[in-house]
Amino acid sequence: MLLEVEDIHVHYGKIEALKGVSLEVEEGEIVTLIGANGAGKTTTLKTISGLRRLTSGKILFNGKDISDMPGHKRVVIGISQSPEGRGIFPGMTVMENLLMGAYTRKGDLSEDLERVFGLFGRLAERKDQPCGTMSGGEQQMVAIGRALMSKPKLLLLDEPSMGLAPMLVNQIFKIIKEINEQGTTVLLVEQNAQQALQLAHRAYVLETGRVVKAAPAADLLNDPEVREAYLGASLSQS
């Protein structure tokens, strides 16, 4: 098992954001977390990547307990995150942003840059453009590309479709599938539950800091409760 999250509890001050979340991600999978705003999805990703401290529970990566490992060391062992809101460096060029993603690495990066530009052709055309002048979709491409530059075994994606036009959303999801097919395991948090479930192998539903359902993604796509809550009433009646 590549990632094992075991009964993790996380607090923001006195507020318990995660109340015993457990999940697993096998190598080669796309696993998605769905749920309403405030369910704990982003907190789960931040805790896995080392940006939030555990109150209790543990996180295993490749069988090793990383619960107390600093975030920058988790990047070194193969966990990389593309954050909610993209978090690009607006005053830096596309190329400079991508190279920031490889700050833990040494040696020739040309093969990795070629991979990113192969996935995101638009970035190849605009590699010298400051990221702050780019569209939301282009900035999302930069954020994902930057995360890939650390050569992760596990890529954490937080709301990659947020604020994007439908055509760009489809493009981003196709690229996530391609990234996975190239050998990178993906843990995806996504408000667009229908597309996330269509893309993923397995899924977990979070509500108020707890996992309330876990199943193959196709099963949840056809689950009446999930369809009613996250896929729209019209779908539940179809």
The strand pair at 154-158 and 185-189 is best described as parallel
Locate CATH 3.40.50.300 in the chain: 3-78+152-231
- Whether the pLDDT of residue 234 is over 70: the answer is no
- Whether the pLDDT of residue 85 is over 90: the answer is no
pLDDT at 147: 97
The strand pair at 3-12 and 56-61 is best described as antiparallel
Q: What is the pLDDT of residues 176-212, one digit of tens each?
A: 999 999 999 999 999 899 999 999 999 999 999 999 9
Question: Residue 121 corresponds to which tokens in the numbers above?
Answer: 């052709």
Q: CATH assignment of 3-78+152-231?
A: 3.40.50.300
Mean pLDDT of all residues belonging to the chain: 94
